[in-house]
């Protein structure tokens, strides 16, 4: 098991991205002029971002199959769509360090600005609106990180530095719910199958209802990074520092599986093949775990300076899209 370092909202991806800034990345921008063609399962296609050393982090897909992603190092939101290629949009607040991103119920895409203490909303044509998040739970920055749409028509987000959960309406009204009277650094968040929001933090897995009632389930091996609802109606999560993938039922029963000890899992997503897919931050691999716990890996091309696979999402066609923070690439892997 790794020794748990002092928490950082971007973990090792920041260090690796900085390292990549001094390394020449070799690659050609793949053409996006035609609609993507589904390939054999496990086939990877990569797209080089126009802005070098951009540090792509969070990623989400829309109903049209296009991908939206944050670029933490260059303060942008990117959009990758068949027929129009990659477009990047500058975030008005400088050095805001965007992280999590998710589609909203209003048709826009929402994202968290960790260092800007703002929640951003970007319309499909690229107009960005920002909502400042007020201080919560003591002095200091708030640090919005993960974000997800809730069942109540609002967006819910984690406040990494403030140890709180936030809620923002489509109109920008913000509510905040402190977790405990100590720092536990919440990070990932997702809508659960039970009408509540579930999140990860330094101590375990948390659940918050839409009225703000909080329940916490400790983990023997923290720190959970990302979390998603699986096709089995349970919550699945990545535990980076102990190299594990976990599952928790809505009633709070937990189970953990060990993955490759060099994986350092980051993002996790429910795939179109009925399994869960996760990124290995420090390996050039995507991991796959079935509902029964069988684990396998798919290789991803390596690049000078490393890749640091970070965010991951499932597209409507069943493929998974992921970010390569150090290599400034967006990857797509077919799963069926």
For residue 178, what are the β-bridge partners?
164
- pLDDT attached to residue 182: 74
DSSP reduced 3-state for 73: coil
Higher pLDDT, 58 or 36: 58
Q: Is residue 8 part of a domain?
A: no
Q: Is residue 210 part of a domain?
A: yes
Q: Is residue 150 part of a domain?
A: yes
Structure tokens belonging to residue 260: 């490759």
Higher pLDDT, 293 or 64: 293
Range in 39-43, 188-192, 229-233, 251-255 the model is least confident about: 39-43
pTM of the model: 0.89
Q: Is residue 3 part of a domain?
A: no
Q: Which residues are CB-contacts of 154 (< 8 A; sequence separation ≥ 6)?
A: 167, 168, 169, 170, 210
pLDDT digit string (tens) for 294-303?
999 999 999 9
The answer to whether the CB of 253 falls within 8 A of the CB of 232 is: no
Q: Which residues are CB-contacts of 159 (< 8 A; sequence separation ≥ 6)?
A: 133, 136, 137, 142, 143, 144, 145, 165, 166, 176, 186
Instruction: Domain count for the chain, please give it.
Output: 1
The answer to whether the CB of 311 falls within 8 A of the CB of 328 is: no
Q: Is residue 9 part of a domain?
A: no
The CATH number for 76's domain is: 2.130.10.10
Q: Is residue 78 part of a domain?
A: yes
Q: Which residues are CB-contacts of 271 (< 8 A; sequence separation ≥ 6)?
A: 277, 288, 314, 318, 320, 335
pLDDT digit string (tens) for 82-131?
778 999 999 999 999 999 999 999 999 999 999 999 999 999 999 999 99
Q: Is residue 7 part of a domain?
A: no
Tell me which residue range forms the domain holding 128: 15-23+33-333
């Amino acid at each position: 098991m790794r020794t748990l370092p002092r928490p950082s909202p971007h973990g090792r991806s920041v260090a690796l991205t900085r390292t990549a800034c001094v390394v020449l990345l070799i690659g050609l921008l793949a053409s996006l002029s035609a609609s993507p063609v589904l390939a054999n399962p496990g086939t990877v296609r990569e797209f080089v971002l126009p802005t070098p050393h951009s540090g792509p982090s969070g990623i989400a897909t829309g109903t049209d199959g296009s991908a939206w992603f944050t670029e933490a190092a260059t303060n942008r939101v990117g959009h990758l769509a068949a027929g129009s290629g990659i477009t990047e949009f500058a975030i008005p607040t400088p050095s805001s360090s965007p992280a999590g991103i998710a589609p909203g119920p209003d048709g826009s895409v929402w994202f968290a600005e960790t260092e800007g203490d703002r929640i951003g909303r970007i319309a499909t044509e690229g107009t960005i609106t920002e909502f400042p998040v007020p201080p919560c739970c003591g002095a200091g920055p708030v640090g919005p990180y993960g974000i997800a749409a809730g069942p109540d028509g609002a967006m819910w987000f984690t406040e990494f530095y403030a140890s709180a959960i936030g809620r923002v309406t489509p109109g920008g009204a913000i509510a905040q719910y402190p977790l405990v009277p100590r720092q536990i650094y919440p990070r990932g968040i997702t809508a659960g199958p039970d009408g509540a929001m579930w999140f990860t933090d330094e101590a375990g897995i948390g659940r918050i209802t839409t009225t703000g009632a909080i329940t916490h389930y400790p983990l023997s091996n923290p720190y959970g990074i990302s979390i998603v609802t699986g096709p089995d109606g349970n919550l699945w999560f990545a535990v980076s520092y102990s190299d594990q993938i976990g599952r928790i039922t809505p009633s709070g029963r937990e189970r953990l599986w060990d993955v490759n000890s060099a994986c350092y899992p980051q993002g996790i997503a429910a795939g179109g093949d009925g399994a869960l897919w996760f990124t290995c931050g420090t390996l050039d691999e995507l991991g796959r775990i079935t509902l029964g716990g069988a684990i396998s890996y798919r290789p991803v091309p390596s690049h000078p300076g490393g890749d640091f696979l970070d965010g991951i999402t499932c597209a409507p066609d069943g493929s998974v899209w992921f970010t390569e923070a150090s290599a400034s690439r967006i990857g797509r892997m077919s799963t069926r």
